[in-house]
Amino acid sequence: MNNIRLRFAPSPTGFLHIGNLRTALFGYLIAQNLGGKFILRIEDTDQKREVNDAVDKLLNVLSWVGIDFDEGPHRGGPFAPYTQTERLDIYQKYIQELLDKDLAYHCFCSAERLEEMREKQTANKLAPRYDRACRDLTREEVEKRIAQGEKYVIRQKMPLTGEIKVYDELRGEISFQASDLEDHVLIKSDGVPTYQFANIVDDHLMEITHVTRGDEWLPSYPKNILLYQAFGWTPPKFIHFPLILNQTGGKLSKRQGDVFVEDYQAKGYLPEALINFCVLLGWHSKDGKEIYSLKELLTAFDIKGLGSSPAIFDSEKLDFFNGYYIRQKTLTELADLCRPYLSDISVDQTYLEKVVGLAQDRMKKLSDINELTDFIFAEKLDYDSSLLIWKALTAEEVKSNLSELKGIMEKVEDINWNKTYLEAQIIEYIKTNDKKVGDYLWPLRVALTGLKNSPGPFEVADTLGKEQSLNRIELALSKK
Ligand code: GLU
């Protein structure tokens, strides 16, 4: 085992954004690819509100998709604890080091003053940014104000001029102007560090060698690097994964559809589909192959396939993958997966397997099972008799065709009541009598399903059983 260590460092909110799933997935795969360790660290110091069991929920959804960690709050490890709010004592020493080096400073500005300052800046068309009012307070004044009990935050002292050059493994060198950087807060007024500070201290202490995260963290990168420099630490390698955009080129947002993995899970997207879909958001294989299981990715994934241009979130593609993986399931597996979505979850297993068999080819997600098979469970079908008419047939001809079929079907013994036998009997009858297949099968299918589009009549009759099928044909015959 080498000393390569990657971490996934989410701020748990109770839901996992699809972009964060991709970050976790890429991190996991790169760690595997490099033969290193994958670590989960919970960055919960910036949380405005306490989200109960957010970490448990996060772990559940990650384990549902099959992503696991070598170290983390649930696994323990040599650098425990892995949750930042359990590490608060650790950060004190490091902020003191920055204060001593004069690379950080106390700021006593009140929330009101900051608000007023921002309003003025906005009115003057300036980007709202801390005006550094406390940057040059004397040590005596700082001590006096602390002694008087004034509240303060601690800010990072940014260079005022010059360029900060950073290196991203996918993009190469990127330059930022120091003058664009704010003296941002490292320690909040309650003594708790911000993400920006705790993240760096922990990456260093946990001996992280590669930081893998989304592109939205690129603006933080120069600030991160300045902190490494301030401490005299060697930074890890950084890989920022490309942005994920919606199909109109905008930011993925809740308004245009689901953005949380849990939403997809609830609707009946399979973990295999989400993984396959996510891995292609910024990565491609050498040979252009697109269908990948997580297991296959463990060997096929290669950092060289990562790109830096934005990835487009195409929900039709996700549906395609989901449909594909639904069709890979055995009927027993699919019945088990669909059961929670049914209005009557106590349906007999063998029967349910037949029912899902009818829907498997058309399903895009598990929750489709209801809509696709409602007609099977319906007590009495409700449809207009005109639907029974095929092409130029008259209502009388339709009824006569249905009666003929009823006659044949009545004679089929229970033991032979299956798709293949029914099909053989009926098709033979149609052929021998030199009739047209559509003239018989359309009315039969409608009589059995009440639908314009549905699975074929023989599979439906097989699933419904003899009694139900004949009742439904009877109903069709009695329609005005
Ligand atoms: N805590 C950050 C987040 O919520 C992690 C950023 C990073 O990976 O450095 O995503």
Question: 97-116 pLDDT, tens per residue?
Answer: 999 999 999 999 999 999 99
Asked whether residue 257 carries a pLDDT value surpassing 90, the answer given is no
Average pLDDT of the segment spanning 64-83: 97
Residue type, 172: G
Interval 264-272 mean pLDDT: 97
User: Per-residue pLDDT tens for 315-341?
Assistant: 999 999 999 999 999 999 999 999 999
| Ligand 1 centroid distance, CA of 15 (Å) | 14
The catalytic site residues sit at 254
d(CA 336, CA 222): 50
**Contact (Cβ atoms closer than 8 angstroms) between residue 102 and residue 139:** no
pLDDT digits (tens, 9 = 90+) for 399-433: 999 999 999 999 999 999 999 999 999 999 999 99
Rounded CA-CA distance 144/138 in Å is 10
In the chain, the percentage of residues whose pLDDT exceeds 70 is 99
- At 2, the pLDDT band (50, 70, 90 cuts) reads confident
Domains detected in the chain: 87-241 (3.40.50.620), 378-478 (1.10.10.350)
Contact between 163 and 176 (Cβ < 8 Å): yes
Ligand 1 centroid distance, CA of 7 (Å)? 10
DSSP state of 232: T
Q: Check pLDDT > 80 for residue 1.
A: no
* pLDDT at 279 > cutoff 80: yes
Mutate to test the pocket of ligand 1, among 17, 195, 244 (most ligand atoms within 8 A of CB): 195
- For residue 319, the model assigns a pLDDT of 97
Indicate the pLDDT class of residue 49, thresholds 50, 70 and 90.
low
Please give the angle made by the CA atoms of 395, 401 and 406, to the nearest 5 degrees: 125
Residues 85-114: b if buried by 16+ CB within 10 A, e if exposed: eebeeebeebbeebbeeebbbbbbbeeeeb
Query: Using one digit for the tens of pLDDT, what is the confidence trace for 287-299?
Result: 999 999 999 999 9
Residue 46 has what pLDDT? 82
**Can you tell me the mean pLDDT for 64-71?**
98
Query: Is 23 touching ligand 1 by the criterion CB < 6 Å?
Result: no
Q: Is the peptide bond prior to 81 cis by the omega test (within 30 degrees of 0)?
A: yes
The pLDDT tens digits of the residues spanning 335-362 come to 999 999 998 889 999 999 999 999 999 9
Both tokens assigned to 270: 């399979």
Q: What is the pLDDT of residues 184-208, one digit of tens each?
A: 999 999 999 999 999 999 999 999 9
Check pocket membership of 196 for ligand 1, CB cut-off 6 A: no
Question: What pLDDT score does 52 carry?
Answer: 65
For range 131-137, the mean pLDDT: 97
pTM above 0.85, yes or no: yes
- What is the CA(190)–ligand 1 centre distance, in A? 21
Q: Which residues contact 92 (CB under 8 A, 6 or more apart)?
A: 191
Question: Can you say which residues are annotated as belonging to the binding site for Zn(2+)?
Answer: 107, 109, 134, 136
Q: Is the CB of 11 under 6 A from ligand 1?
A: yes
User: Which pLDDT band, with edges at 50, 70 and 90, does 51 fall under?
Assistant: low
**Cβ of 43 below 6 Å from ligand 1:** yes
pLDDT at site 253 = 81
Please, what is the average pLDDT of the chain? 95
Two structure tokens written together for 276 = 């396959």
199 lines ligand 1 (CB under 6 A): yes
Ligand 1, atom 2: nearest CA belongs to which residue? 10
